[in-house]
Structure 1
Amino acid sequence: MIYARPDQISDLDTLPPMPAWVTSARAETLEDVAFLSGAALNHLHLVLGREDVPQSLLRERLALRAAEACVAQSGRPERAGELRDAIAFLQPGDSPGPAGETYLSWQRAVKRPVSVKALHRAIPGIEAGQIAEWVDAGQGAPVARAALVLETVMSAAPRADVSALILADTAIAQALGWDQLVPLLAAGLKRADLRKRGDDLRLAYHRALVSSAVEAVRLSTDLARRAAHLKAVAPKLRAKGAGDAVEMLLTRDAVAPSTLPLPDRAARRLCDRLVDLGAVRELTGRDTFRLYGV
């Protein structure tokens, strides 16, 4: 494992921010919004190639954001904290519930490189052959491909919102040459947008991509700084297994001490030590059943 020196953290100031003309523009026409979404995606593409951005962790955080949006659109009350709990403390044989299933789907979708097998694992209720057919339905530029995929899925399975959004994000990843799915659309779309067609759907997609790409770049910058700080303080940790624990924290949205490769008491002490060092945060606000993350 390579640790960052404290003086290297300042190097993260070179992580380029999204241009102000992308974030401040008030475009209304399809052509103007398409131009902005293209610029936003291009900038995000550069950020996703940065080694100082913890890419697995970024995808997990975006997966949580996408799941939270999908759950809210379905009318359910669960938010990020409840979704984390539903998965982090899930026991073998337990059901995570509808909201937890949504989060599981997004988590699984971002965990492995894009493939029909990986997508089938994320959305097991749909046959692998059907997934392949739907993903192949999209052609052309990223938004055109994603819109066609979503229209195709929603026409065939009107209640498969989560599956449609996962496959639409897959179409964008494939169009941009990304090996991994990056959740972008769900958090930027309204429920009514999923029922739109043609240019109205494309306009909604472009707007969603602008807002989500801006947020993804902001989150990338934040996580890069946090990850660099965690790596910088890691050499101060003396517990056996601390290096593996740090690796887990750098790749997962939330970690329970019981899942770390240390005895239970040592794991809790390590997490508390990292909180004291400002390297991780306790995410629940509880005294028990705590979760920690960068």
Structure 2
Amino acid sequence: MTYAADSFDTLPPMPSWVTSARAETPEDVAFLSGAALSHLHLVLNRNDVPQTLLRQRLALRAAEACMILVGRIERAGDLRDAVGFLQPGDHPGPAGVVYQSWQRVIERPVSVHVLHRALPDLEPEQIATWLDGCDPRGAGQGAPIPRAAAMLQVVFAERPRDPAAALILADATLAQALGWTHVLPLLALGLKRGDLRKSGEELWLTCHRAIVAAVSEAIRQAADLSRRAARLRDVAPKLRAKGADAAVELFLSCDAVAPMDLTSLGSKRAARRFCDRLVELGAVRELTGRDTFRLYGI
């Protein structure tokens, strides 16, 4: 497959003047974060970027960041394990719950219903009230990052032991303000524990700086995933197994895939052989380092 002008090799990096500039005034800080988001918007509109997979990967990073914020030890591998082998009725544990919340909020276009599904202990009416209250200029007129910072402040003040809820709602507010259909986890990637206790203009400036750092990571992830997705598409014609096309599409939309998820291949044995073949071809990686209960991803 040829990607022409949208080739992953041409995925533009963040301009160095955005990441290296020293912002001395609030206006400078706001300008740089706006430039970063504008660049990200261009990247997200490229055909070669696997959008669903990018959101999945950033959701994992956001959940990992939330673990750090609350002082827990779980990292990416633990989070993948917490949800990767769940059976009906299983509980994923506290870390898995946070990861599932991020997964659910990115799966579908952002709405109060989707946010309630991600944060079921919050009433839809409360979520809607917060969304409206954090837009002081009314119905989508407030600047995106100040609106997101206001959401972060009000939710964290009410739920100081639940930074994930505050960050999820802040990123949802940001997505709505930017006109994005889906939440893209960003603020969790750039904020530190002490940042959540800030308020007013101090928090507003901190969120602007966090966005620049988070967008830089998001673009690096987009470039990496674009290359890996292109490799998988290149080897796909060599895969003769019945149901291979559906299996490939699953890898292009999920951060981690267990062989048992590849139901289109007909059997667990066939799925394991398929995964091993993809590893041999350099199209996917085994993510756990284990001999059993393996997970794979591009």
2:247 equivalent among 233, 245, 250: 245
Alpha-carbon separation, structure 2, partners of 1:195 and 1:81: 29
CA contact (8 A) 1:9 1:229 kept: no
Query: In terms of mean alpha carbon deviation, does 119-128 or 134-143 score higher?
Result: 134-143
CA contact (8 A) 2:7 2:48 kept: no
Query: In terms of mean alpha carbon deviation, does 114-123 or 130-139 score higher?
Result: 130-139
* Structure 2 stretches lacking a partner, 5+ long: 136-141
Equivalent position of 1:89 in the other structure? 85
Deviation at 1:148, TM superposition (A): 1.1
Equivalent position of 1:278 in the other structure? 282
Change (3 A) 1:39 1:128: same
Equivalent position of 1:17 in the other structure? 13
Equivalent position of 1:218 in the other structure? 220
CA contact (8 A) 2:102 2:168 kept: yes
Specify the SS of the correspondent of 2:128.
Answer: helix
Q: Deviations over 1:196-221 (max 9, x none)?
A: 10111011101110000011011101
Deviation at 1:26, TM superposition (A): 2.6
Equivalent position of 2:138 in the other structure? none
Specify the SS of the correspondent of 1:136.
Answer: helix
Alpha-carbon separation, structure 2, partners of 1:27 and 1:245: 47
Deviation at 1:108, TM superposition (A): 0.4
Equivalent position of 1:161 in the other structure? 163
| Corresponding letter in the other structure for 1:81 | G
* Structure 1 stretches lacking a partner, 5+ long: none
| Corresponding letter in the other structure for 2:207 | Y
Deviation at 1:152, TM superposition (A): 1.7
Alpha-carbon separation, structure 2, partners of 1:40 and 1:33: 11
Alpha-carbon separation, structure 1, partners of 2:118 and 2:203: 25
| Corresponding letter in the other structure for 2:268 | D
TM-score for the superposition, normalised by structure 2: 0.94
Change (3 A) 1:199 1:56: same
2:149 equivalent among 140, 147, 163: 147
Equivalent position of 1:55 in the other structure? 51
Q: Deviations over 1:164-215 (max 9, x none)?
A: 1111001110111000000000111011111110111011101110000011
Change (3 A) 1:287 1:164: same
TM-score for the superposition, normalised by structure 1: 0.95
2:106 equivalent among 92, 106, 110: 110
Deviation at 1:8, TM superposition (A): 5.7
Alpha-carbon separation, structure 2, partners of 1:96 and 1:11: 39
Deviation at 1:93, TM superposition (A): 1.4
2:295 equivalent among 285, 291, 294: 291
Q: Deviations over 1:78-111 (max 9, x none)?
A: 0000000000011221211111111010000101
1:45 equivalent among 41, 46, 55: 41
Alpha-carbon separation, structure 2, partners of 1:28 and 1:180: 32
Query: In terms of mean alpha carbon deviation, does 185-194 or 28-37 score higher?
Result: 28-37
CA contact (8 A) 2:69 2:163 kept: no
Change (3 A) 1:55 1:249: same
Alpha-carbon separation, structure 2, partners of 1:42 and 1:56: 20
1:267 equivalent among 250, 253, 271: 271
1:205 equivalent among 204, 207, 212: 207
| Corresponding letter in the other structure for 1:79 | R
Please tell me the root mean square deviation across aligned C-alpha atoms, in Å. Answer: 1.4
Q: Deviations over 1:143-163 (max 9, x none)?
A: 110011112212333323111
Specify the SS of the correspondent of 1:50.
Answer: coil
State the 4+ residue runs in structure 1 displaced beyond 4 angstroms: 7-10
Alpha-carbon separation, structure 1, partners of 2:110 and 2:120: 15
CA contact (8 A) 1:9 1:228 kept: no
Alpha-carbon separation, structure 2, partners of 1:155 and 1:85: 31
Alpha-carbon separation, structure 2, partners of 1:10 and 1:181: 24
Change (3 A) 1:197 1:80: same
Equivalent position of 1:180 in the other structure? 182
Q: Identity of aligned pairs, percent?
A: 66
Query: In terms of mean alpha carbon deviation, does 21-30 or 196-205 score higher?
Result: 21-30
